[in-house]
Chains A and B, each alone.
Chain A
C-alpha cells in the first residue's frame, strides 16, 4: 500500500510530540487526582463538620464546573490575582484535570472506605493503631481494591479530557493534529495546498479509541471481579 508523502512526517510528528504530550498530561493528572482524591475522600469519612463541609465544597465546585472553565480560570484568571500564579499550558491543564479528577476520586474513596465493615476499624483499634495507622495499614488497602474499577474509569475520562489542553495551546494529540491540518493546507513548499482535516481528526479518534476501549473493558471486568 502506497501512502501519500504527507502521511509519514505528519504521523511521526503527532506520535512523537502529540501522543507523548497527551500521555504526560494524563499521567500527571492521574497520579495527582489519585493521591489528593484518596486523601480528601478518607478525611471526608471523619465525623467533623468543618472539614466535611470544606471537602464537600471542593468536590461540588470542581465537579460542577466544566473542565474547560476550570482550566481557563487557572490559565487566565490566576495570573491577574498574583503574578506568581502564572503557569505554562502543560501545568495549567494538569492542575485543572487534577482538581476535577481528585473530586471524582474523593467521592469514590468515601464510598469505598465506608463500605469496609466496622469490625475492621474496631479490630485495628484494639491492636493499638491510631487513626492514621488504622487507615494506612488496614482500611485503605482494602478500600483500594474497590477503588480500582473507578480509577481505571477515571483514567479513560482523564485521557479524553487531556484534549481540552489543546484550547490553551498545550502540545497534545489533538493540538498537533490541528497544527498538522493547518500546515498541510498551506501552499507548497510549506504544505500540500490540500485539506486533510477528515483523515487527521478521524486518525485522532482511532488512536483515542484504541487506548480507551481496552481500558473501559478492563474497568468493566474489574468491577465484576472485585465487587
Chain B
C-alpha cells in the first residue's frame, strides 16, 4: 500500500489564490477565443474565396504558426521582441500568444467549412440576386459556419490548455498559481490533484458541448 492521504485543508487554505488563477486562465482564454474566432472567420473566408494577397498572407501565417511550437512563439514574443524595442507586458503576451495560435488553427477550420459548402448553393444565392458579400452572409456562412463549429470548439479547447504554457513567462494563471502554492506548501499531491481536476472539468465540459452541438447542428441530408 502506498502511504498517500489527501489533505483537504489544502483546498480550504488556498482556494482564493487558486480561484484567482482559474479566473485569469479563463480571462485570457476568453479574450484569445474571441480573437481567434474573428481571425478564423475573416481569414478563413479570405482563404476559401481566394481573395488575392490576403489569402496568400493568411496561408503564410497559418503555416508558420502551425509548424512552429507555441512555446517558442511565447518565448519569441516575450523575450525576443524587446531586443527590437517592442516590450509587451505579461498579460498582453498571454492573450496575444494563444490568440495568434488559435487564430491560425481556426482559419483552417473555417476555410474547410466554407469550402465544404456546395457550389450550387452559392449559385442559387447569386441567382436570387445576392451580391458576393450577401451570398457569403446568407448562404456560405450559415452552412459552412455550422460545419466549422465543432472543430473550432476543439481549437478553443486547445487554446485553454495552451494557457498553461504561460507558466514560462510567470503569468499567474492556474498552472503558475498552483506551482507557486506547491513551492510554499510542498503539498504536491494535493496541488496536482486540484490542478488536474480543474483542467479536466473545463475540457470535458466543452467536449460534451461539441457532441451536443454536433447532434443539434448536423445539416439536414439534402444540404450535405
A interface, CB within 8 angstroms of B: 60-61, 64-69, 72-73, 76-77, 80-82, 156, 159-164, 166-167, 174, 177-178, 181, 195-198, 200-202, 204-205, 208-209, 212-213, 216
Q: Which of A64, A77, A163 interacts with B204 by CB under 8 Å? A: A64
Which residues from 119 to 178 on chain B have a C-beta closer than 8 Å to any C-beta of chain A? 161-162, 164-165, 167-168, 175
B192 adjacent to A77 (CB under 8 Å)? yes
Chain-A contact segment, one of B10-18, B39-47, B81-89, B210-218: B81-89
Q: Say yes or no: B82 contacts A69, CB within 8 Å.
A: no
**Bound CA–CA A30/B73 (angstroms):** 23
Is B9 at the interface (CB under 8 A from chain A)?
no
Q: Chain B: which residue is nearest A213 at the CB level?
A: B67
Q: Find the B residue at minimum CB distance from A164.
A: B71
Q: Pick from B66, B76, B188, B199: contact of A65, CB below 8 A.
A: B199
The reply on B54 being an interface residue by CB < 8 A is no
Q: How far is the CB of B151 from chain A (nearest CB, A)?
A: 14
Interface centre among A64, A162, A174, A196 (most CB of B within 10 A): A64
Partner of B182, one of A76, A82, A174: A76
Contact yes or no, B80 A198, CB < 8 A:
yes
Label chain B's interface by main secondary structure.
helix
Extra inter-chain contacts (5) besides given A69-B195, A213-B67, CB under 8 Å:
A76-B192, A77-B191, A162-B69, A178-B79, A208-B68
* A68 contacts B167, C-beta separation under 8 Å: yes
Question: Does B72 count as interface, using CB distance less than 8 angstroms?
Answer: yes
Tell me whether A82 and B2 are in contact (CB under 8 A).
Answer: yes
What count of chain B residues pass the 8 Å CB interface test?
40
Which A-chain residue is minimally distant from B192 (CB atoms)?
A77
Closest chain B residue to A216 by CB distance?
Answer: B67
Cβ-defined contact, A167 with B189, below 8 A = no
Kindly identify which residue among A177, A195, A205, A216 contacts B83, using a CB–CB cutoff of 8 Å. A195
The 3 A-B pairs at the shortest CB distance, nearest first, are namely A212-B67, A160-B69, A66-B164
- A201–B165 touching, CB < 8 Å: no
Are A167 and B72 in touch, CB under 8 angstroms? Answer: no
Asked whether, in the complex, the Cβ of A66 is within 8 Å of the Cβ of B67, the reply is no
Task: Find chain B residues with CB under 8 A from A61 CB.
Answer: 200
Chain B residues, Cβ within 8 Å of A159: 69
In the bound complex, residues from chain A placing their C-beta under 8 Å from that of B83 are 195-198
* CB closest residue in chain A, given B163: A66
Mark interface residues in B188-224 (1 if CB within 8 Å of A CB, else 0). Answer: 1101100110011001100100000000000000000
Residues of chain A within 8 A (CB-CB) of B30 are: none
> Which residues of B sit under 8 angstroms from A202, Cβ to Cβ?
76, 80
